[in-house]
Amino acid sequence: PAVRTNMMAVPLREFSGNEIYASRFGITIWNLGASCCTEVFEVPESTFRNTHLWHIGKWGVYGYGSNRVTFDGTVQRGDPQMLARGEGGTAFFFGDYIARNTRITNADIRNVGTGVEVPTKAGDVRDIYGKSPGTFVVEHSYFQTVTGIYLELPWAVTGGGGALPPRATTLRDIRYQAPSVSTGDRRPQAIYAAVRRDRPNPNFLVADRIIVEQFNGNS
């Protein structure tokens, strides 16, 4: 008999050693362990391992909805001449799509506008984890970018406001260095936390913890 399988609840078996160059986007993840905006599934870890990206125009990785996804050993190189023009893209971008249990480890990102934009929606109180904090970890990684880690106040178009659970962002063993070229009007910053009042359905009250450990060798 036929067996019905929810492919959104199936992890990746393998994604390793891939190389992407001269593209507007690198990797786009759509509903890997999740269903867009409010639902996630209990799945084993999916790992994107040893991905190399060269001269990506906008986003190296774009996450559209995920649970238990790890990026291990991502290397991205951009064109330093783009930084002075206010360009350079973002290595990891998630927007306001649900992203539970995400980990970036052993990344090496250079001459890119922003290294990581932390998901503004780290879960939904209606998903299987409820009000448990949504976790996002960046560890053992090097960034030579205009902005290393960028965070905004939690918000979401769908499931924002009171549907947003607490968020816990851990930055562990991060090394940051400003680009060696002009970055134009943008001031290099290792970590930039922003409160954007123009975003839809923000939550100004939910707990939003940022834990920094071993930054540039300082415990």
Rounded distance, CA 27 to CA 62, Å?
6
Residue 111 near residue 88 (C-beta atoms within 8 A): yes
Residues 6+ apart with CB under 8 A from 5: none
pLDDT of residue 111: 97
Q: Is the pLDDT assigned to residue 84 strictly greater than 90?
A: no
Residue 77 near residue 55 (C-beta atoms within 8 A): yes
Rounded distance, CA 169 to CA 192, Å?
13
Residue 1 confidence class, pLDDT cut points 50, 70, 90: confident
Locate 48 and state its tokens: 């994107």
Residue 128 confidence class, pLDDT cut points 50, 70, 90: very high
Burial class (CB in 10 A: 0-12, 13-18, 19+), 145: buried
pLDDT of residue 79: 94
Average pLDDT over residues 30-55: 96
Mean pLDDT of the residues in the chain: 96
Average pLDDT over residues 126-137: 98
| Residue type present at position 116 | V
pLDDT of residue 80: 93
Residue 8 near residue 34 (C-beta atoms within 8 A): yes
Rounded distance, CA 128 to CA 130, Å?
6
Total number of residues shown for the chain: 219
Average pLDDT over residues 64-83: 96
- What's this model's pTM, rounded to 2 decimal places? 0.96
Locate 24 and state its tokens: 């507007």
Measured at the CA of 98, the angle between CA 138 and CA 23, to 5 degrees, comes to 70
Residue 15 half-sphere exposure, CB side, CA atoms within 13 Å?
A: 20
Q: Is the pLDDT assigned to residue 219 strictly greater than 90?
A: no
Give the 3-state secondary structure of residue 163.
Answer: helix
Q: What is the pLDDT of residues 203-217, one digit of tens each?
A: 999 999 999 999 999
Q: Is the pLDDT assigned to residue 194 strictly greater than 90?
A: yes
pLDDT of residue 93: 98
